[in-house]
Amino acid sequence: MRYLAALLLCLVVWTCAELPEAGQEPEGSAETPLPPGSLYEGPAFEFEEVVPGVFHARGTGALNVGSHGAVVVNDDHVLLVESHISPAAARAAWDEVMELTGKPLRYVVNTHFHFDHAHGNSAYPDEVQVIGHEFTREMIENGGSMGRSWENFVGGIPDQITELADLVMRTDIEEERLELEDRLAFLENYYASQEGLEPESPNTTLSERMTLFAGGREMRILFFGRGHTGGDVVVHLPAERVLISGDLLLPRLPFMGDGYPGEWAETLEHLKGLEFDWILPGHGDPFQDRERIDHLQAYLRDFEERATALHAQGLSYQEAALRIDMTDHADNYPQIIGPGVVEIAMQRMFELLDGTAG
């Protein structure tokens, strides 16, 4: 087992875990053939039961699954939150949840349109309701899930594969070569899952809210406004006091390349009116600290204010990304180690200021 620290895909939105040796394709419990990119060993997910019948799902590192997700086990069916990064990842989650629960899948919720949360939709049969915001469906239908955010993380994979293959050929130390071979196999398997992929949009949409009932459980799917994207929804289980937040609220700084920083801060305010003890995020571990809402609001508001000032000085977004100083938020976000932000976040902010944001 060796860590995947060298994979560039994991720098911003993915949490890497240990990587097993490449092996044979696992047998699935569903009757359809396994999707491309299903070459891995062992379980692809681990499931943490946060409250009875509600699990947080995160990748083990055996397969690139992208986002974390959630599993809500009802009397006679299961609801999943997120379809993950590919049909292979979605199928792995489906198979493993069926093994865990023995219950069929009825609902899947896409919290937003990003590829690491929604590119597995095509793995499900027509009878599964895939639910998302109207904006999420529109973006996937129009190719938005394979736009800048997808290209930012996936576009460099062929070059990475070439570089890793060259390193394997040139490495004489067996231990180092085996580690490189593992990384190469992982990356090639993920790339295989993306070749020919045609993202499918949700087949059921909402504009503001939808409520599902199953036995004694109420599951609220809520849209409070633009934030991480133009169509983020959260799943609230009021009786269980659980909020499944997608990427609207994470235990760390989120990707901001498709966000609306000012509106995002206001959207987060609505979460404070919900009753919950646990937050199950789209990346990172479950947490209970409600003050994280305040922390992100403060960061977003300061980022917008300071970026706007740099924009008014006539700087390019590249210059502004290097110059902006957010270090006063480092106590809440330890990944801040000096001035500067990820360039794509500043690019997005300047597009909003210029009126050119998509």
Residue by residue, DSSP assigns 49-65 as EEETTEEEEEE-SSS--
Phi then psi for residue 279, to 5 deg, are -115, 125
The per-residue b/e assignment along 123-133, b for 16 or more CB within 10 angstroms, e otherwise, is bbeeebbbbbb
Rounded-to-integer distance, Cα 169 and Cα 5, Å:
20
Phi, psi of 289 (to 5 degrees): -80, 100
Instruction: Flag whether pLDDT at 336 surpasses 50.
Output: yes
- Average of pLDDT values for 251-275? 97
303 CA to centre of own chain: 22
Residue 266 has pLDDT above 60, yes or no: yes
Calpha distance 343→202 (Å, rounded): 31
pLDDT of residue 148: 84
- Residue labelled with tokens 């239908």: 141
Task: Please give the pLDDT value at position 10.
Answer: 38
pLDDT the model gives residue 151: 86
DSSP per residue over 105-154, as a string?
Answer: EEEEE-SSS-HHHHTTGGGS-TTSEEEEEHHHHHHHHTTGGGSHHHHHHH
User: What mean pLDDT comes out for the span 19-27?
Assistant: 35
Report pLDDT for 31.
62
Cβ 111 vs Cβ 133: under 8 Å: no
In tens, the pLDDT along 135-194 reads 999 999 999 999 888 888 888 899 999 999 999 999 989 999 999 999 999 999 999 998
Which domains does the chain possess? 2-150+198-206 (3.60.15.10), 295-354 (no CATH)
Q: Is 275 strand, coil or helix?
A: coil
CA–CA dist 134, 122 (Å, integer): 18
What confidence tens digit (pLDDT) does each residue in 62-118 have? 999 999 999 999 999 999 999 999 999 999 999 999 999 999 999 999 999 999 999
Residues 6+ positions from 304 with CB-CB distance below 8 Å:
261, 262, 265, 349
Q: What is the mean pLDDT of the chain?
A: 91
* pLDDT higher than 70, residue 14: no
List the one residue out of 294, 230, 224, 222 whose CA is nearest residue 260. Answer: 230
